[in-house]
């Protein structure tokens, strides 16, 4: 083997764990995108009730709050790689039960809510565990952390775009319940890729030493304490908890109801989410290339404004679908860099031994308003109508960004 071939092989060996991690995370998130579309449409088709759809959204988002904190501590205790495998396995089994029971006529609404709750309970620990591995695998690949975070966001957005498109097609072809078989397959692929190519954790010594010093209960609350006492992290949580409330309302109720009202809900909703995800994919990829050259703070505020407000306004104005799709794609373009911007800033301040716990606690915090958002959206559509609910969503998003994203606490972002 000549020196050039040896260097290429060594480069591939260093990069393959990072590539495998991104691939596994992407496939798992594609499965979640299918659930995101199929479950609300199943409830709408089965019950015809926006309020029932909102209740299902509550049961889909509430587990994120529970799983974030407990799952972060679990991931730091038993290992990031093992947690991601267990999370995918649990999610795959529970989501597979939905189409099986629906086909047998044995899926009453309370049981559906229980399965939706269970399938989402370990999603956040699984995704948190994969994110926690990113700095070490980026270092192994000799890739700048900003670029690795951009690649991770690009993979997330790709998964959302492809998963949304596939979900829309499957819902139209085989129905929302049967579309969930593809979700279970995605989780199985993610498990195989993780076990085959993602290495065992490199952080275990530091985490175990920290755990031995602190004990189980302090270990569980360490992430929450770090979030509460670190101004920058606390500021991120305050802003994103409000905007996530609105986004949960949009994803679980407002957009499905809008699409369902057009008479071809599965296909239209899939295209809507795919347009946003396609724009976000482009934005995340551009950030991965140019992000390290741009001022993070001003970019963050401007992009947040463009990503959050226009999608709700264009739907409220009942614009032609072609215009709505274009606005969603442009909003996605602005949204693409937001997660890597946040992750890069947080990786710089969070200790490695607390990483999964802190990121899990952050996931808990930013998801705290999501069940409320789904419920309020269902009530809003039922009592105020879809248009008024969309206008309120845009207004809340605007006030949240302008009212919370400035001040000394953001220093260091």
Q: State residue 186's pLDDT score.
A: 92
The alpha carbon of residue 17 and the mean position of all alpha carbons in its chain are separated, in whole angstroms, by: 22
Q: Domain with 403 in it: what CATH number?
A: 1.20.1250.20
Q: 100-114, 202-216, 305-319: which has the minimum mean pLDDT?
A: 202-216
| Pairwise CA distance, residues 172 & 167, whole Å | 8
- What the block records as the tokens of 333 is 């373009």
Q: Is 66 exposed, middle or buried (0-12, 13-18, 19+ CB in 10 A)?
A: middle
Mean pLDDT for 339-348 is 85
233-292 pLDDT, tens digit per residue, is: 888 888 888 898 999 899 888 998 898 888 765 678 878 888 888 888 888 888 877 776
- Using a pLDDT cut of 70, give the percent of the chain over it: 91
Quick check: 163 and 33 in contact, CB under 8 A?
Answer: yes
Q: State residue 212's pLDDT score.
A: 45
Secondary structure element (H or E) that encloses residue 115, with its range: helix 109-121
Q: How far is CA 57 from CA 38, 94, 144, in A?
A: 12, 17, 37
Q: Is 50 exceeded by the pLDDT of residue 207? A: no
Q: State residue 68's pLDDT score.
A: 67
Quick check: 299 and 333 in contact, CB under 8 A?
Answer: no
| Pairwise CA distance, residues 219 & 228, whole Å | 15
pLDDT band at 330 (very low <50, low <70, confident <90, very high): very high
Q: 74-78, 98-102, 131-135, 343-347: which has the minimum mean pLDDT?
A: 74-78
Whether the CA torsion 40, 42, 44, 47 is positive or negative: it is negative
Quick check: 238 and 399 in contact, CB under 8 A?
Answer: no
Q: How many domains are contained in the chain?
A: 1
The alpha carbon of residue 184 and the mean position of all alpha carbons in its chain are separated, in whole angstroms, by: 17
Quick check: 261 and 386 in contact, CB under 8 A?
Answer: yes
Closest CA to 137 of 208, 210, 206, 197: 197
Q: Is 60 exceeded by the pLDDT of residue 105? A: yes
Secondary structure element (H or E) that encloses residue 300, with its range: helix 296-308
First to last CA, the chain: 46
pLDDT band at 218 (very low <50, low <70, confident <90, very high): low
Q: State residue 388's pLDDT score.
A: 94
- The widest CA-to-CA distance across the chain, in whole angstroms, is 72
Q: How far is CA 118 from CA 96, 98, 151, 301, 359, in A?
A: 12, 11, 30, 35, 21
| Pairwise CA distance, residues 301 & 296, whole Å | 9
Q: Is 80 exceeded by the pLDDT of residue 152? A: yes
Q: State residue 205's pLDDT score.
A: 47
Quick check: 281 and 154 in contact, CB under 8 A?
Answer: yes
Q: Is 50 exceeded by the pLDDT of residue 364? A: yes
HEC assignment per residue over 71-98: HHHHHHHHCHHHHHHHHHHHHHHHHHHH
For residue 256, the SS3 value is: helix
- What the block records as the tokens of 120 is 């989402």
| Pairwise CA distance, residues 5 & 363, whole Å | 43
Q: Which of 44-48, 115-119, 140-144, 321-325 has the highest mean pLDDT?
A: 321-325
- What the block records as the tokens of 183 is 């979700």
CA torsion, ordered 306, 309, 313, 314, to nearest 10 deg: 30
Q: State residue 77's pLDDT score.
A: 75
Q: Is 60 exceeded by the pLDDT of residue 209? A: no
Q: State residue 2's pLDDT score.
A: 67
Q: 142-151, 393-402, 403-412: which has the minimum mean pLDDT?
A: 403-412
Q: 92-106, 137-151, 330-344: which has the minimum mean pLDDT?
A: 137-151
pLDDT band at 323 (very low <50, low <70, confident <90, very high): very high
Q: State residue 391's pLDDT score.
A: 95
| Pairwise CA distance, residues 64 & 53, whole Å | 18
Phi and psi for 312 in degrees, rounded to 5? -75, -35
Mean pLDDT for 88-111 is 91
Q: Is 50 exceeded by the pLDDT of residue 342? A: yes
| Pairwise CA distance, residues 272 & 45, whole Å | 19
Q: Can you give the residue range of the structural domain that contains 75?
A: 3-410
Q: State residue 213's pLDDT score.
A: 45
For residue 290, the SS3 value is: helix
Quick check: 63 and 121 in contact, CB under 8 A?
Answer: yes
CA torsion, ordered 331, 337, 342, 343, to nearest 10 deg: 130
Average predicted confidence (pLDDT) for the chain: 83
Q: Is 80 exceeded by the pLDDT of residue 114? A: yes
For residue 282, the SS3 value is: helix
Q: Which residue has the higher pLDDT, 399 or 212?
A: 399
22-39 pLDDT, tens digit per residue, is: 999 999 988 888 887 888
Q: How far is CA 183 from CA 72, 100, 163, 176, 188, in A?
A: 24, 13, 9, 11, 9
């Amino acid at each position: 083997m000549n020196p050039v071939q040896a260097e290429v092989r060594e480069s591939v060996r260093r990069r393959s764990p990072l590539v495998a991690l991104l691939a596994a995370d992407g496939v798992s998130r594609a499965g979640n995108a299918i659930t995101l579309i199929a479950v609300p449409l199943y409830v709408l088709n089965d019950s015809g009730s926006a309020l029932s759809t909102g209740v299902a959204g509550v049961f889909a988002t509430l587990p994120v709050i529970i799983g974030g904190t407990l799952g972060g501590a679990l991931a730091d205790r038993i290992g990031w790689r093992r947690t991601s495998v267990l999370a995918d396995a649990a999610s795959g089994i529970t989501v597979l039960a939905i189409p099986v029971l629906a086909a047998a006529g044995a899926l009453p609404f309370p049981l559906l809510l229980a399965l939706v709750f269970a399938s989402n309970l370990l999603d956040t620990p699984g995704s948190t565990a994969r994110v926690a591995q990113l700095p070490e695998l980026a270092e192994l690949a000799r890739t700048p952390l900003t670029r690795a975070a951009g690649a991770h966001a690009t993979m997330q957005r790709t998964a959302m775009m492809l998963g949304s498109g596939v979900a829309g097609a499957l819902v139209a072809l085989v129905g929302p319940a049967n579309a969930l078989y593809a979700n279970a397959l995605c989780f199985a692929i993610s498990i195989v890729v993780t076990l085959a190519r993602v290495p065992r954790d490199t952080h275990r010594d530091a985490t175990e030493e920290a755990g031995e010093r602190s004990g189980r209960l302090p270990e569980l609350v360490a992430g929450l304490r770090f979030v509460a006492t670190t101004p920058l992290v606390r500021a991120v949580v305050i802003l994103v908890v409000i905007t996530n409330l609105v986004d949960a309302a949009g994803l679980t109720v407002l957009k499905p109801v809008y699409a369902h009202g057009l008479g071809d809900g599965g296909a239209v909703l899939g295209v809507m989410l795919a347009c946003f995800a396609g724009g976000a994919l482009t934005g995340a990829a551009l950030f991965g290339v140019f992000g390290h050259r741009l001022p993070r703070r001003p970019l963050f505020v401007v992009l947040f404004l463009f990503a959050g407000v226009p999608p709700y306004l264009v739907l409220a104005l009942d614009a032609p679908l072609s215009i709505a799709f274009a606005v969603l794609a442009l909003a996605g373009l602005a949204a693409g860099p937001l997660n890597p911007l946040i992750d890069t800033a947080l990786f710089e301040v969070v200790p490695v031994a607390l990483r999964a716990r802190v990121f899990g606690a952050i996931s808990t915090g930013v998801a705290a308003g999501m069940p409320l958002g789904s419920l309020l959206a269902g009530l809003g559509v039922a009592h105020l109508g879809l248009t008024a609910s969309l206008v309120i969503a845009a207004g809340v998003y605007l006030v949240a960004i302008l009212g919370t994203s400035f001040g000394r606490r953001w220093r260091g972002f």
